[in-house]
Structures are given as structure tokens and as C-alpha cells.
Amino acid sequence: GQQVKQSSPSLTVQEGGISILNCDYENDMFDYFAWYKKYPDNSPTLLISVRSNVDKREDGRLTVFLNKSGKHFSLHITASQPEDTAVYLCAAGATGGNNKLTFGQGTVLSVIP
């Protein structure tokens, strides 16, 4: 089954608003979590990652929230810009898993002016 799930295939946000992207996981062994961004015809690039010993990590306009008991993590993008329009992929991995990441299905974020 799908161990990492992004239930929303798409999200549309007004420019300047907050984009909230969600991800759920099933494997209790996952202990680090990441968000990747992918433009069409480009390779995925890491945006931000967190380990399970923290509940929140901020980096500029990006914040990752981790809810371990709910097996859920999210990416918040404040002051969303049209250039944030892309596919966002969440991913999770387990220590000892040789950096093997399991990805979600992806959410297409569209930021409209």
C-alpha cells in the first residue's frame, strides 16, 4: 500500500496567501521527513527536511510541522508567489534505511496573481 500519502492532488492559492500542503504516513519507523519541489521537465529538489525529534522547523517562508502521533506532516508557505507554482512531493525515510526515501503522490500548487 501507499506508505506516504498526499490526499490533495492540487491546491490553488491567491498570491500573498498561505499555502498548506499535507502529507500522511503509515510506517512507524519513519523518523525523518522532507519536502521536495519539482517544476515541469525538471528534477526534484529538496526544500526542507526535519527529523522526528522536532515538531516544527522554519526556513524563511517555509515551515514544516510534524505531528508524530497523528502520523502527519505539513508544509506551510507564507506570502505565496506565482513562482511557487510547482509540484510538491513529500517524502519520509527511516534511520538505517540507507537514505531510501518513500515519496507521496505529489500536490500541484498553483499560485494565482
Partner 1 sequence: EAAVTQSPRNKVAVTGGKVTLSCNQTNNHNNMYWYRQDTGHGLRLIHYSYGAGSTEKGDIPDGYKASRPSQENFSLILELATPSQTSVYFCASGGQRNTGQLYFGEGSKLTVL
User: Per-residue contact track with partner 1, 4 to 33, x per CB under 8 A?
Assistant: --x--x---------------------xxx
Torsion angle of the four alpha carbons 73, 113, 78, 62, in this order, in degrees rounded to the nearest 10: 60
Output the smallest distance, CB 16 to partner 1, in A: 28
99 contacts partner 1 (rule: CB under 8 A): yes
User: Per-residue contact track with partner 1, 36 to 65, x per CB under 8 A?
Assistant: -----xxxxxx--x-x--------------
| Piece in contact with partner 1 (CB under 8 A), picked from 11-19, 53-61, 72-80, 94-102 | 94-102
- What is the per-residue DSSP string for the chain? --SEE---SEEEEETTS-EEEEEEE--TT--EEEEEEE-TTS--EEEEEEETT-SEEEETTEEEEEETTTTEEEEEESS--GGG-EEEEEEEE-TTSTT--EE---EEEEEE-
98 contacts partner 1 (rule: CB under 8 A): yes
Residue ranges in contact with partner 1 by CB under 8 A: 6, 9, 31-34, 41-46, 49, 51, 89, 91, 93, 95, 98-106
